[in-house]
Each structure stands twice: as C-alpha cells, then as structure tokens.
C-alpha cells in the first residue's frame, strides 16, 4: 500500500474510533504523497472509523485542485452553480481506480493548501468555543504561550468560500510567522490540525482537545428516574401526531433515554432558551434539521404549534424533541435516528458550555439558507438516510402471517412502497426469511420480526408493544394469517373447525382491536385490511370452515368501517383468487384433496383453477401486494367498507 494511503487510513481510524473526537462519524482527513503531486483524501459520507484500503477515499492530482482557487470565473457564479462546478472539478481531478461513485471531500481544495497531513474534526470540546460568542477570546487565552499560535477562521460558507478565506488567512499567517499554522479553529464549524507526519498530526489533535477541555466544567450529575413505558409511548404518539399535523409527513419515532448531558440540560434553568438559539453548525442543520424542540408536556397541539413556529422560521421541521423528564425523541428515518440523537446530545452539552462563554453562537438565517440549498450536504444526508422512498414512505405497518405465502408477498410489497413493516408470525424463522428479502430489496431498517400468536390476547398485546417501542406508531394493519382445513361437511373434525375460527376470526379481531386502539390514540387515521378470499363471496366445495371464516372476515370489516370512520381509519377487505406461489395452504396434501374433488390429477390442479378465471391468468403474490398498497395509499382515501376482488375475474361481486 502507498505510504500516504496507509497514513490516511491510520489517522482516520484512530480518530474515528474515539467518541471524544468525532461527531456522528464526521470529519475529514488527507495525506499528500512525498512528491507533492497527489493527495489522498476521505470521501464524502464515509465515517472515519470505516475507512480501509478498498473504500472511503479518493486520490486527487493537487495541481488542478489548487487551480480551482485561482479560477477568477468561479466567484462570478451564483452560490449553487459555483459549488456544483467545484464538485465536478474535484471529480475531474481524481486519479485512481475507485469506480464506486465516491466523491472526494468538498473541502479538498482547503486541504491542498495545508501541510502534508491534515485532520479535520468536530469535537464537542472545540464546539464549546467555536460556537460561543466569546470563543475566540477564550481560545486565545488558552493558547497564549504557543510559539506557533492557532489560526482563528471567521465563519465562511463551507466549500469554495471557506477555502478562499483560509487561503488568504494562511498566506497572511505565513508572512507573519514564517510557517503555516498547525491548528485552525473554524467559527461555527470545528478544528483543523496540519503537520508533516501522521504521528505529529495525531499528537496535535490530542493537544488541542486537552487544552480546550481544561476550561470546561463537567456536566452536573443529575439522577433521573427511568420513565414508565406507557409514558414513553404516549410521548411517541403525541410527537408523531404533531409532526403529521404540522407537516403532513409520516415518521417513525425513536426514544433515547437521558444521558448525563441530557439529564443536566433538562435540569438547566435556561434549557428552553438555549434550544431557541439556531443550529450550531452545518452538521446539526443537515442531520438533525436544527436543534431539538423543547417539550414541556406531551400535548400534541402544543407540540404542533412549536413545530409550525420552527418551520415558519427555518423552513425545517426538527427531528429531535427533548421531553422534560423523559429524554430525547427522534422523529426521523430509523437510519438517521442514531446520528441525529448523537448530534443533539452533543448540541445540548455545547449549548451549556457556550452559555458560560457569552452565549450560543449559531448559524444565522443566510448561513442556514446556504446549507439548506447546498447539494453537497444533501448528498451526504442521502448516503446516511438512503434513497427511494415510495408512496407509503415511513408509514408503519403490521402484517400477520408474514413468514410465508400472501403474508410474505404483502410485507415485501409494502416495504417496496416505502413502509416500515413489522413481520408478525408464530414462525420467527420464516418471518426472518421475509426480513432478509426486504433487506435485499430495500433496507434492513424497514423490517422488524415480532413473534406473535394471533389467537392469544397476551401475545398480540406484546407484539404491538414491541412495535411501539421500535417505531413509535402505527398506520397500517394487514390481517393475513390464516388456515384452510379441507374437509367435507360429513368428515369435518370439530377441532379443525375451532382452529379455523380461532385463527381466521378471533385472530383478526384481536389484531384489529389492538391496532384500532393505537390508531385512535395516535389521531392520524389509518388503514386496516382483512385478507379474505373469493371463497368468502362464492363458497367452494369441501371448505366449510374456510367459507364461513372468510365470509365472516368481510362482514367484520364492514362493521369496523362504520365504527372507525369517525377517527379517519379506513377498513377494507381483499378477496384474492387462488394464489399458489409460496402458499402454505396450497401444499401437496391440499392439492391432492382438490384433485380428488375435481376428479383430475394433482399436476392438473393449478392449470384447472387458472382456466376458471376470465383472464386465464395465474394470480401472483405481487398482484395481491399491489392491491394492498393501493388500499393503504392516499389514492384510496375515500374507500372504506369495501371488498376488492383480485381473482383474475373468477367471482363477480354481486
């Protein structure tokens, strides 16, 4: 491995694994080659700790990178056009075999100005100063005895403008001190250290952090009693409802118990005022949509007003909510939640420190506007949060019987449409196989396996508690678990009859009852779908239990639609035709029964039933999944109490 690349990986990994040095895995590193012609630099969106020989970096030719700063045409462009041009120029300067679409850091031209080994970080100890009104004065006092003093860099928009400002400041510094600066403190941003070796750069990092920490007071030890689970659930539902009311967006809500920083902050007398200050730095604005919103109590209407006020001021709804006495709640994609939580836990610590140094210094309105419109930050966020949402984006769904057959097809279909899907089944292994399918098709964050026996009240209640603990709400229930004991009336065992009643009727009832309670408490409406069958409309021979229960499911759904309509909860049924693909019902024994019933050979059963349809088309799991997605979507917003027959035209609704 090239020595410069080896140094880059080592510096990145060492700093990236130290939580005192990085915020959300962010930061940049670079190392120049010995001949001074090339520079290895971290790629955008890569966590420092994850960089290795194969990924997470790009190699640039330094000459065209520095030429960007000399181009007199760039300042004449508007900000967005200028930054997009710079991104293109940096990609053109890449000289490596990395074909994975990784971008070099947008600060590459800044790194090119400094010494051979550069580390850029956003440690909380540094943020306490660079985000404080007297921060520059405090840092000057801390480093007053240094022969090579740090360089203070007043705020500039990240990217080209920051590089231009630092170019001028470094030139002036070099003229005054006869050398380039070793430490650069960037207002509302972070710290750069620059040295002639990896070891020297790492030593400088620790020196800067230790010096900054020496003037900071540790958070006051505050003991908070662990909140009751029901109080956390109430807060989650209230926040989710408020976000929906203010923005029309569906979001999962995650809970993070109070850390020492957060506990001290909740006890601070000025906590509300400290959170009223704007975002501290670009990372907080991008990955948390600004500072957390202070929540005194969990009244959804008050939280809604708080969100609306924030949106009116900043055009962004906050992801984070500090609920007094409970902790931190994040209303955002599950993939973003841990990062946003880390941002906000650090933010409250910085705000308390900055309060001692003259007050919080955050991004002003113009600075925020630039970040909001900067494509490079949107690119970084996309790498963390994923792409490709879908018409059911972030709606939270429960599918019973998700381990096989139509339950599996429906669960995968909902996930492909963007929903977050709880896969409930008595067979956890089978449900996990469905989760693996969703992970390959979309994201592992979109599925959660929850064991559930739909005939048990305790099991159903526990399943929904697990759902609320994980995602904090509910929008969709699909009752798909079912059995079909194939017996003629004269041969029908009563235990099989009762089993069908328990799974196909009691199971649907218990799941719908619990779902309706949550949806009503949440106050955002919802959709319940009973997966019935064409046999619920047009009875089939030797299928007494199935005929009865499938017809019952239709009528239960109609009654529920009348009961729940005032809460905005729609209830519909889907009556599929014969779906053979992946079905546990259409097992070899059942096919033999059907063959005997119709006086045909087992291998003729599937073609026989397909030919009974008007379309002469076999129904697939995807067909039923598409019908479910439609009924759960806003396109079906006026449809309730109805039965959608997806059977290729075998049974006509009368």
Contact present, 41 and 104 (Cβ < 8 Å): yes
Three-state SS for 42?
strand
Give the Cα separation of 271 and 204 in Å (integer).
34
The single residue of 40, 160, 250, 546 carrying the catalytic annotation is: 546
Three-state SS for 219?
coil
DSSP per-residue letters across 322-368: EETTTEEEEES-TTTHHHHHHHHHHHHHHHHHHHHTTSB----HHHH
| Helical (H) or strand (E) element with 368 | helix 365-373
At 220, phi and psi to the nearest 5?
-65, 130
Give the Cα separation of 37 and 306 in Å (integer).
53
Structure tokens at 538: 């047009």
508 is catalytic: no
The one-character DSSP state at 616 is -
| Cα end-to-end distance, the chain, whole Å | 74
DSSP per-residue letters across 84-142: HHHHHHHHHTB-S---S-PPBPTTHHHHHHS-SEEEEE--HHHHHHHTBTTHHHHHHHH
Q: Is the dihedral of CA 518, 523, 527, 530 positive or negative?
A: positive
Give the Cα separation of 513 and 515 in Å (integer).
6
Structure tokens at 519: 């949806």
How many helical (H) and strand (E) elements, i.e. helices and strands, does the chain have? 25, 18
Which residues belong to the active site? Answer: 546
């Amino acid at each position: 491995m090239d020595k410069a690349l080896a140094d880059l990986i080592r510096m990145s990994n060492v700093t990236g694994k130290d939580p005192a040095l990085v915020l959300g895995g962010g930061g940049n590193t670079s190392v120049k080659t010995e001949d001074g012609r090339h520079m290895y630099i971290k790629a955008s969106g890569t966590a420092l700790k994850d960089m290795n020989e194969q990924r997470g970096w790009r190699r640039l030719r330094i000459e065209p990178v520095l030429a960007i700063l000399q181009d007199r045409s760039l300042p004449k462009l508007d900000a967005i056009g200028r930054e997009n041009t710079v991104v293109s120029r940096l990609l053109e300067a890449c000289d490596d075999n990395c074909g994975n679409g990784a971008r070099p850091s947008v600060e590459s031209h800044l790194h090119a100005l400094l010494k051979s080994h550069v580390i850029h970080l956003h440690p909380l100890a540094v943020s306490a100063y660079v985000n404080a009104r007297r921060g520059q004065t405090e840092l000057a006092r801390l480093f007053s005895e240094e022969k090579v003093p740090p360089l203070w860099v007043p705020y500039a928009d990240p990217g080209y403008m920051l590089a231009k400002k630092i170019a001028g400041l470094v030139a002036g510094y070099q003229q005054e001190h006869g050398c380039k600066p070793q430490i650069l403190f960037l207002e509302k941003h972070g710290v750069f250290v620059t040295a002639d070796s990896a070891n020297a750069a790492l030593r400088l990092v620790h020196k800067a952090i230790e010096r900054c920490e020496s003037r900071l007071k540790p958070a006051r030890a505050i003991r908070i009693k662990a909140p009751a689970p029901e109080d956390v659930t109430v807060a989650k539902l209230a926040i989710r409802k408020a976000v929906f009311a203010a923005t029309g967006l569906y979001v999962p809500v995650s809970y993070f118990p109070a850390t020492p920083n957060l506990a001290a902050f909740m006890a601070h007398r000025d906590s509300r005022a400290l959170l009223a200050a704007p975002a501290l730095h670009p990372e907080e604005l991008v990955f948390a949509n600004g500072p957390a919103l202070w929540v005194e109590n969990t009244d959804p209407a008050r939280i809604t007003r708080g969100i609306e006020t924030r949106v009116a001021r900043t055009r962004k709804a906050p992801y984070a909510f500090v609920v007094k006495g409970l902790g931190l709640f994040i209303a955002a994609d599950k993939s973003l939640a841990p990062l946003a939580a880390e941002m906000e836990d650090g933010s409250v610590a910085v705000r308390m420190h900055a309060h001692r140094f003259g007050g919080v210094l955050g991004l002003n309105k113009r600075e925020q506007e630039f970040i909001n419109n900067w494509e490079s930050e949107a690119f970084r966020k996309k790498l963390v949060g994923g792409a490709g949402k879908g018409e059911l984006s972030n709606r939270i769904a429960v599918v019973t019987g998700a381990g096989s057959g139509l339950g599996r097809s429906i669960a995968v279909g909902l996930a492909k449409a963007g929903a977050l899907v709880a896969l409930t089944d008595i067979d956890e292994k089978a449900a996990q196989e469905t989760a693996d399918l969703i992970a390959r098709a979309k994201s592992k964050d979109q599925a959660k396996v929850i064991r559930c026996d739909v005939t048990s009240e305790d099991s159903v209640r526990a399943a929904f508690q697990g759902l609320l603990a994980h995602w904090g709400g509910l929008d969709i229930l699909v009752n798909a678990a079912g059995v079909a004991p194939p017996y003629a009336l004269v041969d029908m065992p009563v235990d099989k009859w009762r089993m069908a009643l328990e799974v196909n009727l009691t199971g649907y009832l218990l799941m719908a009852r619990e779902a309706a309670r949550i949806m009503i408490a949440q106050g955002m409406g919802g959709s319940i779908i009973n997966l019935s069958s064409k046999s619920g409309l047009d009875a089939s021979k030797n299928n007494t239990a199935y005929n009865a229960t499938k017809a019952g499911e239709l009528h239960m759904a109609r009654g529920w639609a009348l009961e729940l309509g005032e809460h905005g909860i729609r209830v519909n049924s889907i009556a599929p035709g014969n779906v053979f693909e992946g079905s546990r019902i259409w097992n070899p024994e059942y096919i033999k029964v059907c063959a005997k019933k119709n006086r045909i050979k087992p291998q003729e059963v599937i073609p026989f039933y397909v030919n009974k349809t008007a379309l002469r088309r076999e129904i697939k799991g995807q067909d039923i999944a598409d019908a479910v997605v439609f009924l759960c979507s806003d396109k079906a917003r006026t449809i309730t109490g109805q039965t959608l027959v997806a059977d290729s035209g075998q049974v006509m609704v009368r």
